[in-house]
Structure 1
């Protein structure tokens, strides 16, 4: 779907094309580049009003406008629907990137006003490319973290976030951040949130995804973009993940023993675990402190990361299953998906990324979704649809036999104590 342009022709400026540009910039050590992830904000609701064909024209027009704003040796690719990746030249400072975000915002803002009476806004994440050894998918992951939580600088309703802490290498800054993390762990300021998964055949919540939130006593809930990239960059995410895994296990045991209630809880496996020591010895040690079935633990593997080293992934997955846990493939369809993973790696669950649920009226999109569900089922996997917010998708996913839905249509992420009150102590 993402490889085609407005007129049904193969679009050469797709994900593989811009990845090749990124790789060339890295290999030739070109300086002052920034990877930008950009999405048309709230476009799902706008597309319902415009219709499928007109929505595609707006996306195409946005692409052309943004292309015209780029200079020599700057690039843009449409990855899927209304989500774009750009490579722009800029100093890695907010002072330099602020005008570019401002420029993109005002160029796009008014293009649908005549037809809808509404403005069109942007969400943008900026990743300055000054760290060595960061591959395309990891860089985009960091930029998307910022885009998803962008709130720092606003132009009306457009917003952007700059990935900053990732390139501050001074020992003083590193030590300061480490101290903040340790203080937060000791004071239990990292909180475990769960986003429920609803089983479509029964309408019941049968599991949830574990998520981290940092609740600062003075500032309240910190934006993920402010701390999560740095946790992953310096490896502190391992300490936080172990703490939250231990916390979750204590609740799972209590629900199992005291209330005869079992929920499969999924845990994201961060990039730090692929580049460092295996996490399983630590997780096994934690799990053995408690008593509940191993199958209530599921480890989520991020597609964009595992694509980089499939051979390295296999022994890790084997160890997970040998112990009794299971695996899910997260964010399937978020990029140039590789079916090699589905064929060669044991998986219990496939999670379809929210980016594939952009335009319900688009017949091709619905066919792609159905195809993924059918393939996963034929390979013996359950399917979770992520990011579902409207009833039309719920009805369609039920019709084609999708197993679970995770999204705001049913439930937002909630503190684990709230989850317990609603679904365990009911």
Structure 2
């Protein structure tokens, strides 16, 4: 039943009520419906509240006792996918049920507390407190129980504690604060937890500003298509490009991607921005095609959130047909994280697009722990070797690893592009390994699409003169 239909039926059933009374009855009825559904909104594996009932219960608790202080503790397991791969899914589920029992204990034994199983290995608890140290004690207690749990794999939990000085804060805000605190220690094995602090609060405010500004940025054309050329290192000829987004804010000027892309990935708006840039790429290549100009591939980035986007293939096929662009001229660049969200679903979508002529490129090759498994399991047309891979060429070991990695990829028959080439030494070494195609500041920085077009036009003119 929709919100409006429920309201109309309740109001119609009480004709003698005043408008205020009707609204009060309506709200009471909705609350009763929500309360009755709470028990149905538990996760099957752990029987903890799911995120919907957790938000509802905590929201009601905070509303009824607004003068108390509330905090959220969130936890996930470092590289939980490796736990499942090493121990098996059944053992992984056994671990998750035990962790759930640790969180559930506080819901049953600590006043003003609710526990939640968000998804996979991510759990959280909301509770009232007097001093932050109370929340830190809970973290230490849960961590000790998990550490002492008899298990074949060393389990490393990470925690974030979200707090707010505001009276009656929104539960979603506390959860976001806890998540930000937890993410601040990822990769720091010497730290178990972090508490949301003033520095994070300032960052959160910047994120809110990005969220507020991004819709008008799209409407007003502030997000612009930039392209970083890909070149043949043997002669410097432009052989393609990678589409990038830049934000020219009317007051702040050029906003660095690192300040807005992570925010958009968190709130899901990156899908809108991706599709906005994709359309600009197809429109540009369609223009070249209509004008009978030389076409070069311009790859587009597909974010990890597209792992859940059932309309991904439909969108790309529509753009291809609308702008009459051969699909091989719009390679799809994905990072390993795009597959980690929904590996089977993303494999299926990519294979469907490959059948329709699109090419699939793995970006940032060599930076993820499961990259080799992905290379073995997924059909790829192109590999982009990450710039970190070629940074230490003065070391003999680095040269051996790079040389043999390139040889392996060549044997697999995939096209190779080296990212981040910045020195003549790197260029010479890579050419010696038989690798010709690259991106990097040694050749070109990212540029507005108009500048990229001028570069191509100049190259076409030079080609015509040599004919």
Question: What TM-score results when the alignment is normalised by the length of structure 2?
Answer: 0.56
Matches within 5 A, 1:142-181: 164=204, 173=208, 178-181=211-214
Q: 1:88 to 1:28 in 2, by over 3 A?
A: closer
Question: Is residue 242 of structure 1 aligned with residue 249 of structure 2?
Answer: no
Deviations 1:150-172 (A, max 9, x none): xxx9xxxxxx9986369x7xxxx
Residues paired across the two proteins, number: 302
**CA–CA distance in structure 2, aligned partners of residues 415 and 349 of structure 1:** 25
Residue equivalent to 2:320: 287
**CA–CA distance in structure 1, aligned partners of residues 163 and 420 of structure 2:** 32
Is the CA contact (8 Å cut-off) linking 1:268 and 1:301 kept in structure 2? Answer: yes
Question: Is residue 261 of structure 1 aligned with residue 301 of structure 2?
Answer: no
Residue equivalent to 1:399: 432
**CA–CA distance in structure 2, aligned partners of residues 258 and 161 of structure 1:** 51
Q: Paired residue for 2:374, among 338, 341, 354?
A: 341
Q: Paired residue for 1:252, among 260, 263, 285?
A: 285
Q: 1:295 to 1:22 in 2, by over 3 A?
A: closer
Give the unaligned 5+ runs of structure 1.
1-16, 32-72, 74-85, 95-127, 141-152, 154-159
Residue equivalent to 2:254: 221
**CA–CA distance in structure 1, aligned partners of residues 442 and 226 of structure 2:** 17
Question: Is residue 315 of structure 1 aligned with residue 355 of structure 2?
Answer: no
Q: Paired residue for 2:333, among 294, 300, 305?
A: 300
Q: Paired residue for 2:309, among 276, 296, 305?
A: 276
Other structure's SS at 2:450 match: helix
Is the CA contact (8 Å cut-off) linking 1:310 and 1:341 kept in structure 2? Answer: no
- Structure 1 residue 393: deviation in Å? 0.7
**CA–CA distance in structure 1, aligned partners of residues 229 and 317 of structure 2:** 25
Deviations 1:380-415 (A, max 9, x none): 101111111111110011111113111111111111
- Structure 1 residue 366: deviation in Å? 1.3
**CA–CA distance in structure 2, aligned partners of residues 194 and 301 of structure 1:** 17
- Structure 1 residue 332: deviation in Å? 0.7
Other structure's SS at 2:322 match: coil
Is the CA contact (8 Å cut-off) linking 2:304 and 2:337 kept in structure 1? Answer: no
Residue equivalent to 2:222: 189
Is the CA contact (8 Å cut-off) linking 1:259 and 1:424 kept in structure 2? Answer: no
Residue equivalent to 1:131: 179
Which deviates further from its counterpart, 242-251 or 198-207? Answer: 198-207
**CA–CA distance in structure 2, aligned partners of residues 343 and 22 of structure 1:** 17
**CA–CA distance in structure 1, aligned partners of residues 205 and 258 of structure 2:** 10
Residue equivalent to 1:233: 266
Residue equivalent to 1:361: 394
Q: Paired residue for 1:373, among 393, 406, 413?
A: 406
Other structure's SS at 2:266 match: helix
CA RMSD of aligned residues (A): 3.9
More helix by share: 2
- Structure 1 residue 423: deviation in Å? 1.8
Deviations 1:8-57 (A, max 9, x none): xxxxxxxxx964699999958589xxxxxxxxxxxxxxxxxxxxxxxxxx
Give the unaligned 5+ runs of structure 2.
1-76, 84-94, 100-119, 126-142, 144-155, 165-175, 188-198, 460-467
- Structure 1 residue 306: deviation in Å? 1.8
Which deviates further from its counterpart, 310-319 or 386-395? Answer: 310-319
- Structure 1 residue 353: deviation in Å? 0.8
Is the CA contact (8 Å cut-off) linking 1:299 and 1:326 kept in structure 2? Answer: yes
Other structure's SS at 1:417 match: helix
Other structure's SS at 1:288 match: helix
Other structure's SS at 1:192 match: strand
Residue equivalent to 2:443: 410
Question: Is residue 351 of structure 1 aligned with residue 384 of structure 2?
Answer: yes
Is the CA contact (8 Å cut-off) linking 2:308 and 2:342 kept in structure 1? Answer: no
